[in-house]
Amino acid sequence: MKKNKKSVLQTEWNLGLLYKSPTDPQIEKDLDAIDKAYKTFATKYKTKTSYMTDEVALLGALFDYEKISDLPIHKAYRYLRMSQDLDSKDQTVRSRFTQVMQRMQKLGNVILFFELNLSKISVSDQKKFFGSVKLTPYAYFLKKIFEASKFVLSEPEEKILNLKSLPSHGMWTDAVKKMRGQLTVVHKDKTIPLSEAEALIRILPTQMERKELYNKVMDQYVIIASISESEMNAIITNKKINDELRGYKMPFDATIQSYENERRTVLGLVETVTKNFKISQRFYSVKKKMLGIKKMGYYDRAVSVGKTKKKISFDESYEILHSIFKSLDTEFADILERFVKNGQVDAYPKIGKSGGAYCWGDHKSPTFVFLNHSDTLDSLTTFAHEMGHGIHTEFSNKQPVLYNEYSTATAEVASTLFEMFVFYDQFEKLPPNEQIVALHDKIQDDVQTVFRQIACFNFELEMHMKIREKGYMSKEELASSMNTHMKSYIGDVDLSEKDGYFFVAWTHIRNFFYVYSYAFGQLASKALYAKYKENPKFMEKIKQFLSAGGSMSPEDIFKSIGVDVTKPDFFQKGIKTIEDDIDLLEKLTANKKAQKK
């Protein structure tokens, strides 16, 4: 196990906390035990209907359902998926992962009947159960099922949709993902994967160099665009069929319902952000001046305007986070300390390891944080971001198993909030020149997370609606549509026909309308941060939010701590803070120019 110089920190995952190896016999033992428990539950309740009308019978059935829900059905899946992320070339792990995933689908079908039966409870009995004191612990669980009942099909139909999800969606997206992973370009006589080339574009010093490498990358996406054209049309047509069978009116309705948001909240978010695209356009005008170029290309969108010189090792990042977290609440620091000591954080990039960063936890199972730390300020804030997810997960796990998973709509709130705590702490300690760089990078992240994601939402909606209406969109039409919507938020930037082919690479559009949750989380976290700065005692309310898990809707969780996300001006206030940061950036850059004179 790799350790840092202080010897108390582990920088690699200890997946032995889950299983010893992909062939560990305990995996089969766990799956067999779950299989047995699920079948016992099915035998007891499959032919009974008393719990659909009788309060006491329903209480007993829900108690038994809660017990089987507490079994570690995702444990093997998580272990194999994370093992794959550590070594993407391990075919044994990949094969075992597919086997386990298929088995999990079959296991899920064994108990599928129960929630389907609950969805068929009559309206009069629903009202009776909602008024039951005995059923109070299950009230929100039942509310979600009753609200979704009109979109639920028969058990045989639900089983078919469940089983066909892999070949009608998962295998399509996996195939294109695999193709993208095999693409390479030649840069300075060296063959490099596209992921490396895309990261390199952002740090190349001249616009000509960026454009040259960017065009090579986009040429590769154009090559496989015909396959991705088929992929996107297939998975969107499949969704259209599913939505029609279930009765969803708009392409985004299923996502909003599954994320437990109110429709008006999400549509209000999309409308407000779209109306404010002029703010993101203004940022790119400022960025163009900072770069000293006459016209920006799309390849300049994420380019750096400089570097913060200070190197921050993983050890130092840990110490900084520990200090900040402890000042906020000792429990936050304790969680960080436990994660690192137990080998629940994988810190550094290595050959075969996937890129990016994430956090993944489960009820009664260790939470793991995945990083590719590069000893920069950005790596530090990424660490803070993922620890925000980790802390949220640990607090949510205090909830009963039916409520321990927080909604996707609230998932990005804690992460961006903890990232803000760390950013502003470090920002004040930077020299003026580096403050400009750090502030630019922060605004750029806000623009990407709020404005770009909503532009993507708008693109997705147009794509889904056109395929529903016309039956098909060509790759040229897909690319043109993407360019139109990217132009809407980015403004006066050159976009070539080739730029639109980024739809081939944008993984989020395969997870339909997921992108709105980024903007929602970013703007909501700004509200929590502002309230904390006004009154540090608000941290108790933040802890209340972190502990709520999925016990209420996102709107009700925020309302319980004095934040109303349904108000028309809520998202506008968050957007105003981004505009204020742009004002500050312009002021800092003007001061820098004045000093040079």
| Contact in structure between 494 and 298 (CB atoms under 8 Å) | yes
Chain CA centroid to CA 280, Å: 22
pLDDT at 203: 86
- Residue 338, amino acid: R
What is the rounded distance in angstroms from the CA atom of residue 547 to the CA atom of residue 240? 36
Closest CA to 540 of 531, 549, 550: 531
Please count the other Cβ atoms lying within 10 Å of the Cβ belonging to residue 268: 19
User: Of 311-315, 351-355, 373-377, 571-575, which gets the smallest average pLDDT?
Assistant: 351-355
Question: Three-state SS string across 189-214, please?
Answer: CEEEEHHHHHHHHCCCCCHHHHHHHH
Q: Kindly list the distances between the CA atom of residue 431 and the CA atoms of 95, 221, 424, 435, in Å, as whole numbers in the listed order.
A: 51, 41, 13, 6
Q: Same CATH fold, 314-434+523-568 and 184-307+444-510?
A: yes
What is the rounded distance in angstroms from the CA atom of residue 57 to the CA atom of residue 43? 16
Chain CA centroid to CA 582, Å: 26
pLDDT at 349: 87
| Contact in structure between 169 and 123 (CB atoms under 8 Å) | no
CATH fold of 15-169: Butyryl-CoA Dehydrogenase, subunit A; domain 3 (1.20.140)
- Residue 266, amino acid: V
> Helix H segments across 87-193?
91-110, 112-119, 123-130, 139-148, 155-165, 171-182
∠ CA 76-79-83, nearest 5°, is 140
Over residues 97-115, mean pLDDT: 90
| Contact in structure between 19 and 76 (CB atoms under 8 Å) | yes
pLDDT at 3: 44
pLDDT at 594: 63
| Contact in structure between 43 and 68 (CB atoms under 8 Å) | no
Residue with tokens 């132009």: 487
pLDDT at 567: 87
Residue with tokens 């986070």: 321
What is the rounded distance in angstroms from the CA atom of residue 225 to the CA atom of residue 220? 9
pLDDT(1) > 50: no
> Helix H segments across 298-376?
314-328, 330-341
* pLDDT band (50, 70, 90) for residue 91: confident
Please count the other Cβ atoms lying within 10 Å of the Cβ belonging to residue 189: 5
* Coil, helix or strand at residue 335: helix
pLDDT at 4: 42
Say which DSSP state 345 is in.
E
pLDDT at 460: 98
| CATH annotation of 314-434+523-568 | 1.10.1370.40
**Pairing status of strand 296-297 against strand 493-494:** parallel
| Per-residue pLDDT tens over the stretch 478-528 | 999 999 999 999 999 989 999 999 999 999 999 999 999 999 999 999 999
pLDDT(572) > 90: yes
pLDDT, mean over the chain: 92
The continuous run of DSSP H or E covering 493 comes out as strand 493-494
pLDDT at 5: 46
Over residues 333-350, mean pLDDT: 95
pLDDT(6) > 60: no
pLDDT at 560: 96
| Per-residue pLDDT tens over the stretch 441-467 | 999 999 999 999 999 999 999 999 999
| Per-residue pLDDT tens over the stretch 222-265 | 999 999 999 999 999 999 999 999 999 999 999 999 999 999 99
| Contact in structure between 112 and 155 (CB atoms under 8 Å) | yes
Structural domain boundaries of the chain?
15-169, 184-307+444-510, 314-434+523-568
Query: What is the length of the chain?
Result: 597
Backbone angles phi, psi at 187, to 5 degrees: -130, 120
Q: Which residues, in sequence order, are bridge partners of residue 494? A: 297
pLDDT(592) > 80: no
Per-residue b or e along 544-580, where b marks 16 or more CB atoms closer than 10 Å to that residue's CB? ebbbbbbbbbbbebbeebebebeeeebbeebbeebbe
Per-residue b or e along 459-486, where b marks 16 or more CB atoms closer than 10 Å to that residue's CB? bbbbbbebbeeeeebebebbbebbbebb
Out of 3.40.190.10, 1.10.1370.20, 3.10.20.310, 2.60.40.10, the CATH code matching 184-307+444-510 is: 1.10.1370.20
| Per-residue pLDDT tens over the stretch 536-562 | 999 999 999 999 999 999 999 999 999
- Residue 561, amino acid: I
| Contact in structure between 553 and 488 (CB atoms under 8 Å) | no
| All residues at 6 or more sequence positions from 550 whose CB lies less than 8 Å from its CB, including other chains | 260, 396, 399, 403, 404, 405, 406, 407
Chain CA centroid to CA 226, Å: 28
| Contact in structure between 519 and 447 (CB atoms under 8 Å) | no
Say which DSSP state 407 is in.
P
Over residues 376-382, mean pLDDT: 91
| Per-residue pLDDT tens over the stretch 21-42 | 999 999 999 999 999 999 999 9
User: Of 191-195, 281-285, 370-374, which gets the smallest average pLDDT?
Assistant: 191-195
Closest CA to 403 of 102, 112, 62, 110: 62
What is the rounded distance in angstroms from the CA atom of residue 548 to the CA atom of residue 260? 14
Q: Which residues, in sequence order, are bridge partners of residue 368? A: 360
